Amino acid sequence: MIEPKYFYDLALAHGTDFFAGVPDSLLKNFCAYITDNAPSEKHIISANEGSATALAAGYHFATGKTPLIYMQNSGEGNMINPLLSLADPDVYSVPMLILIGWRGEPGVHDEPQHVKQGKVTCDLLDAMKVPYHVLTAETADLEKKFDEAYAYINEKSAPYAFVIKKGTFADYALKNNEAVQGNMSREEAIEKIMLAADEKAIFVSTTGMASRELYELREKHSMNHEKDFLTVGSMGHASQIALSIAMQKQGRKVYCIDGDGATIMQMGGLATIGSRAPKNLVHIVLNNGAHDSVGGQPTIARKIDLCGIAKSCGYEIVKKVETIPELEDSLSNLENKLTFIEVLVKKGARKDLGRPKSTPIENKNAFMEFLAL
Ligand SMILES: Cc1ncc(C[n+]2csc(CCOP(=O)(O)OP(=O)(O)O)c2C)c(N)n1
């Protein structure tokens, strides 16, 4: 296995001292190492992977140095536009090293949302003409791989990628793991929201543990799953799915259960929601100030005014709640107006949290039948 420190030191030795990206579970030990060890002005956990690519470009323009960006392969799509229209040698020719965590690698069992992305991870790099090397726990000559990568990067002034297989990095526990204050867990908040909703209410939940918790809570309360659309991939897009449903199903309440990292990843969606202002949509952001589902790296969500953003985007009712009674009170007094509720929750999840047992297609079919009622 590769020690995160060794990898980080090799990057430094090759002149790379700036890091930007979105955390990933496969890269979590390396992400944690950067979070703890890179000076804060040299590390930005970006809103999305496209932003990371642009931050890297800006750093290169300002310093002449080669930055590093990191992401889960789910983020390749977010990176594609700035990679091809900004960093590509046919445009501004920006050198950078790209680290991509390979979820859904063919032959390795993974969740359904990772399967297709896993199959095309390297094909996408081929199509973009970004050369890459696959790193594994067995990679012995990492220094040589770095030399080869930087020989290309420096000669062509262009991006080069390392595709990282599961289990490549040795353990590293995040030290800079600030406790995020909260009176309730994300799961407790979801339970209250789920139980407060009426029979015909529709749920759209975000990527990561929130959807897994909603699934398990339905089981715990012997409820079926047809009310829930689990946005298992497509991080940041749950709110737009919910908006579109709310506009078509005006007689029914639609609850979007969102995460703070996901909300920030596609924050423009709030403006679209506000401009349409469906009265039946309740957009709830469970703010734990972290990318909890992939290792707990911090987001900036506890440092910005999410409610202020929602208000200025046109949400009619905007509330921030910190305690279970406050949450219950908001849920039992919902008005027929576009509502935004920011719920401050703790980081962390149950160790024995399971995963949905039905397939995405089964989930969608049952959900569409429920919407048609
Ligand atoms: C485009 C994209 N980038 C990265 C990921 C990996 N990922 C899955 S869940 C998650 C964190 C989500 O954070 P947040 O929305 O705050 O919810 P939390 O996990 O804290 O409940 C990340 C980064 C992804 N699925 N898709």
Indicate which atom in ligand 1 lies nearest the CA of residue 23: 23
- Give the per-residue pLDDT at 189: 98
pLDDT of residue 287: 98
| 4-13 helix and 142-156 helix, angle to the nearest 10 degrees | 30
- The pLDDT of residue 40: 93
Q: Specify whether the CB–CB gap between 189 and 345 falls below 8 A.
A: yes
Pocket of ligand 1 (CB under 6 A): 22-24, 72, 74-75, 78, 186, 206-210, 235, 259-262, 288, 290-294, 299
Reported in sequence order, the residue ranges of the chain that DSSP labels E, i.e. its strands, are: 19-21, 43-45, 68-72, 96-101, 132-135, 159-164, 202-205, 228-230, 254-259, 281-287, 290-291, 297-298, 317-321, 339-344
Probe residue for ligand 1, chosen from 26, 72, 117, 283 as the CB with the greatest number of ligand atoms within 8 Å = 72
Question: What's the rounded Cα separation, in Å, for the pair 254 and 331?
Answer: 13
Are the C-beta atoms of 79 and 50 separated by less than 8 Å?
yes
What integer pLDDT is reported at residue 128 of this predicted model?
98
Contacts of 171 (CB under 8 A, 6+ apart): 29
Q: 310 alpha carbon to ligand 1 midpoint, in Å? A: 21
Rounded CA separation 4/97 (Å): 16
Q: Which residue puts its alpha carbon closest to atom 17 of ligand 1? A: 259
Report CA(46)–ligand 1 centroid distance (Å): 12
Measured in Å, residue 137 CA sits from the centre of ligand 1 at 24
pLDDT in the model for residue 62: 98
- The number of the ligand 1 atom at minimal distance from the alpha carbon of 288 is 20
For residue 287, report the distance from its CA to the centre of ligand 1, in Å: 13
Amino acid at residue number 298: P
* CA separation for the pair 17, 40 (Å, rounded): 11
d(CA 366, CA 371): 9
The Cα 262–Cα 256 span in angstroms is 12
Residues 6+ apart with CB under 8 A from 228: 203, 204, 205, 211, 214, 215, 218, 363, 367
**Residue type at position 351:** K
Contact 281, 242 (CB under 8 A): yes
Closest residue by Cα to residue 283 from 335, 234, 318: 318
Q: Which residue's CA lies nearest to atom 23 of ligand 1?
A: 23
The CA 157 to ligand 1 mean position distance, Å, reads: 31
Tens place of pLDDT per residue across the chain (373 aa): 999 999 999 999 999 999 999 999 999 999 999 999 999 999 999 999 999 999 999 999 999 999 999 999 999 999 999 999 999 999 999 999 999 999 999 999 999 999 999 999 999 999 999 999 999 999 999 999 999 999 999 999 999 999 999 999 999 998 877 778 889 999 999 999 999 999 999 999 999 999 999 999 999 999 999 999 999 999 999 999 999 999 999 999 999 999 999 999 999 999 999 999 999 999 999 999 999 999 899 999 999 999 999 999 999 999 999 999 999 999 999 999 999 999 999 999 999 999 999 999 999 999 999 999 9
Return the beta strands (E) in 55-137 as ranges: 68-72, 96-101, 132-135
Residue 347 CA: nearest ligand 1 atom is 20
Q: Find all residues with CB under 8 Å of 122, minimum gap 6, and list them.
A: 132, 134, 163
